[in-house]
Structure 1
Amino acid sequence: MSDVVVLTQEGPEGIRYDFVDGCRVWVPEGGNWRIRLRDRVADTVVYQHDFTSTGMVQSSKRYYIPFEIKVWKDDKLVFTHNCDLKERDVLITMHLGGLGDQLAWIGHAAAFAQHHQCRLTCCMQEALIPLFEKTYPDIHFVSNVDDDAMKRYYAHYRVLVFFEDKEHNFQPIDYRQSGLIHMGADTLGLPYAERRPRITIDPGGRPIKERYVCIGSQASGLSKYWNNPVGWYQVVRFLKEHGYRVICIDRSRIGGTETALRMIPHGVEDETGDRPLSERARWLKHADFFVGLSSGLSWLAWAVETPVVMISGYTQPYNEFYTPYRIINRHVCNSCGNDVTQRLHPEDPLFCPYHKGTDRIFECTRAISAQHVTSVIETIPGFGVQRDD
């Protein structure tokens, strides 16, 4: 039957098994079978079933669990196997996430491979692979995995955002509770830690001689934008008055929707465009600091260890990496992006679960003032200090 070929490991008595999207076990015709799956760390039997003929079981939990498999045939124990990833081929898929998601997750994947000493393949967006393939030479990066390729993997885990995982089958903790920075650790059974990724940076040093600041004003949804209509203008003017060149490195000069277009801020130097991320990393690496949103460029700045001023009322600060320059206004509605009672609707450009259609829409960022942002910028060590060179 077709189930036989998709289970990648072979046991005795014709038993097939693997840990691809959970713990899976198949038994053939020719006996009375009992299959038991146990979480070895929790010391808990999570599944047991008897078969009078052929059949397959698959655990409902698909994140990393140190499973033990036991199979009896005609009341005789014929197979015991503990999940052990050492020197095994393991696949982690994270291809549906954006730039920020995959920068948040790849460090956890690398730590997982090191901890288990497995041969890891990571499936991610093709455009992001050049950021990591040289800095993680022991990880094999791919942009897709076909059915034939899947036959080689002993285990497969999905580090993705699951919006409707009410039973916590794909992630042990709701992603809105753990935050983007930690959800990869949850899925892969690692202790919480910020695992900053190693990325490839274009060579050549500083792209310009003068002191400069990079900004990113575009985001994946209007709820993530800084919706104060004069905020960016005032901050850009403030930075220029303090001797900085202000470089916008967004991919697009115009973002948002047809009914709510967002231009890059007036007065910036336009370095927008669909350029290699390693080139963006070079601009960020040599900037004095970065001012941005809860979006991919902020994560890229974090990866190259550039100070990040993050303007976000949409998410809780724990959702992203720690920065002492995080800006949120608690006096208005905020943090719906981490509210477990609300489902994100990325297809809705005007997503604002509490105030859509009212004059309070996006008040979480409209109420963040330029003065709030500039007062935080002034706390960055070395701000405004002129260099001798």
Structure 2
Amino acid sequence: MLRGSGFLTPAAARLLIVDLARAEGFDAVGICAADAIPHAAPRLAEWLASGAQGDMGWMTETAERRASPRALWPDVRSVVMLGLNYGPDEDPRAALMDPARAAISVYARGDDYHELIKGKLKRICSRLVPRVGGPERAEVKVFVDTAPLMEKPLAASAGLGWQGKHTNLVSREKGSWLLLGAIATTLELPVDAPERDHCGSCRACLDACPTGAFPAPYRIDARRCVSYLTIEHKGPIPRALRPLIGNRIYGCDDCLAACPWNKFAALGREARLAAREENRNPALAELARLDDGAFRARFAKSPIKRTGRVRFLRNVLTAIGNSGDPALAPEAERLLADPEPLIRGAAVWALSRLVPPAVFARLAARHVPAEADAAVRAEWDPSLENAA
């Protein structure tokens, strides 16, 4: 088991990694070589050339480093991919049933997985590094959506699952509910066999998408994806897509929840990822009243805080506009006075859907003359809604 110097052999190091990963609560672990995904770079280049990344300019800026782990770190030899199950305790589509309440993506209902998984990876490395290597100490780096690393192709190459037609990872044991972390290392470790595709002729995930974000199987247009529109997109949500978003205010689980492989999924065991009660189906009226301090306090340990109050309320107001509930109109009307143009514009749209045309015209007569933002002024034009 040990080398003459007292260090573990690569095979023993692999067993230790698996043991440490299980001790930290990871549900899946696999290893691939650093050069295991040569097929991913051409697909990424084609996708970026199509403009499907929307205004995620950082994906274009980091494309060369994203092409391969070795482009990011030349000394890396192996990549350990780890999966943490976050399987929900209910069908997330149940949150779509009440249009006056918000639907939040399952992964964002508990603590921020970035910090949680990063802590677990660092603890694994702190116990691994002293026991492996040789004359030259092994080096490691950990990643959780924090660097230009193509986690999903690497996870497939490491045997954790395969990239389904919705482009997300699917596991035969855990279904669609795996959060990924990576440990890149200078160690040359034994690798696992890649998982093959088990989607077959199924297209349940493609058909479930509310905005038609999949132009073809295994290809996503982020510009139409609810997760992109509610999290990454910085401007107004395109008018034609707003009605399709429904009450989804942060992310979307529809394509994941539709996957038949979820019949094998289990409830997530990590308590910090479990849904907080206030994030299961919060009332839209309650969320619309959050000022900046209240927003920060409520989502202090949540991934939702990364979006910020402005985009968050844009999403809430879009959901209010889709609610069909005139009782929510006062919440939108109050936000016509918000300092942020993005919020004011979303409030105008929501009101255009909830109040009679005569009331909307009276509100326009009161607010348009004082409105300095051209985009917000344009939202007051009722003909745009018909055009959309």
- Higher RCO (CA 8 Å, separation ≥ 6 residues): 2
The TM-score by the shorter chain falls in which range?
A: under 0.3
TM-score normalised per structure 2? 0.25
The answer to which structure has the higher strand fraction is 1
TM-score normalised per structure 1? 0.25
